[in-house]
Amino acid sequence: MHDKTIAELADGLRKKEFSSIELTQTFLARIRLYDPHLNCFVTVTEEQALAQSAAADAAISQGSAGVLTGVPIAQKDIFCTKGVKTSCGSKMLDNFIAPYDATVVERFKQAGTVMLGKLNMDEFAMGSSNETSYFGPVKNPWDTDAVPGGSSGGSAASVAARLTPGATGTDTGGSIRQPASFCGITGLKPTYGLVSRWGMIAFASSLDQGGPMARTAEDCALMLQVMAGFDEKDSTSVDRPVPNYSASLNNSLEGLRIGLPKEFFDEALDSDIARLIDDAIDEYRKLGATVKEISLPNMKLSVPAYYVVAPAECSSNLARYDGVRFGYRCKDPKDLHDLYMRSRGEGFGAEVKRRILIGTYALSAGYYDAYYLKAQKVRRLISDDFKRAFEDVDVIMGPTSPSAAFRFGEKTADPIAMYLSDIYTIAVNLAGLPGMSVPVGFSKNLPVGMQIIGNYFSEERLLNVAHRYQRATDWHRRAPKDFV
């Protein structure tokens, strides 16, 4: 059962080939067996999962089940879950039990899914390798000496290792797409405002977006159907009808116009990955698509712009963790100043502190105009580049990451090298566009993903484009041999 996709599991549950309890027990057993080696989960909610699966079986027998009723999933530990620890991968929130469910969590509950647990992540979603987590790094199931990507590394690795059929992730600068590429799964970062951020602990509020991570585009469509939609509790949520994302998955790609940005195929790109992207593009030509070179001239500015905007917003959002109201508090503070200083100094890890300091500096008197305001102007230029490109093409394709998964410790001493691993994904967040990563092959026995970028609210088209490719290839069905 563990090797079936979400769509196949949902079909099996409806046909009563197995029960939700049997399914849940299968995945819980796999978590017990394999997670000690991979470290994907911060919390396993076994008792709650079995109770939810029993309720799902009752709903199925009564004929009141929805499409995903009884299907197990896991939540990234950045989404608040009532009565269950929500840590954000940080010592700061190691003792935080959320008093409410995030909107995304609530919607999955209403859909009848079963929550297996909370997934490990880079601390406060800050990282590209899952090495910054207070709970230790997540291992890549394809090679446990390699990183799974970040910040949604626990989500990507758990899906790849078949510890869960699907998982939620969040993407601020590539944190769904890059780990999806490193772990050989499918991940979708929706248009900013499509998925509610209420109850999703903030890193950079104008960039953060939750999305689905699963093995196939079809599974991502089923998950996005649950996640998407207006939420009055989120002021950035967009009030628009949610389409049926599964309805157009099999539409023809005849006449699809694909744009290849020349800036994506520069000297930073590994030659193996360039070859695999070329092969994938050839597959699209066979499916009836046309291909043309385009330019996104300001994309080279996306990394410096992002590393002003994101730390500035992080500095503001993380000011609430002061040792007073909730979260970690230092022992025996001498006075209020000592309480603040030591609680934050002891509670945050090195990467979080680095970004808070950068952001605070960028927002400080005399520097706001020089850094933050200028970065926002550059952000508009990047967005305008995409707007012009989509006048001529339907989707944009290219590598998700300049390399396959790198080794633990390879980039920890050089923050700039680490930041550049998101060089192809960051511009999408700055512009608020949807983007996804699909597996297209292997380089040195490690998975490689291709990024597909669409215009605003074109998730239907993206999922269709990804699904038709996955019908023609089998990269998404490959499994790491040690976890079959």
Q: Which of 19, 53, 76, 196 is an active site residue?
A: 76
Q: Which of 87, 129, 151, 315 is an active site residue?
A: 151
Within 13 Å and on the Cβ side, how many CA atoms surround 83?
A: 5
Tokens 């944009």 correspond to: 396
Name the helix (H) or strand (E) containing 337.
helix 336-347
Whose CA is closest to 379, among 307, 293, 282?
A: 307
Peptide bond into 175 cis (omega under 30): no
Q: Which of 158, 175, 196, 237 is an active site residue?
A: 175
Distance CA 44, CA 313 (A): 31
Distance CA 160, CA 163 (A): 8
Q: Which two tokens stand for residue 223?
A: 């998950």
Output Rg (C-alpha) for the chain, integer angstroms: 21
Distance CA 234, CA 229 (A): 11
Please indicate whether residue 403 is annotated as part of the active site. no
Query: Residues 168, 172, 176, 182: is their CA dihedral positive or negative?
Result: negative
Please indicate whether residue 76 is annotated as part of the active site. yes
Please indicate whether residue 300 is annotated as part of the active site. no
Peptide bond into 20 cis (omega under 30): no
Length of the chain: 484
Question: With 0-12 CB in 10 A as exposed, 13-18 as middle and 19+ as buried, what is 59?
Answer: middle
* Active site amino acids: 76, 151, 175
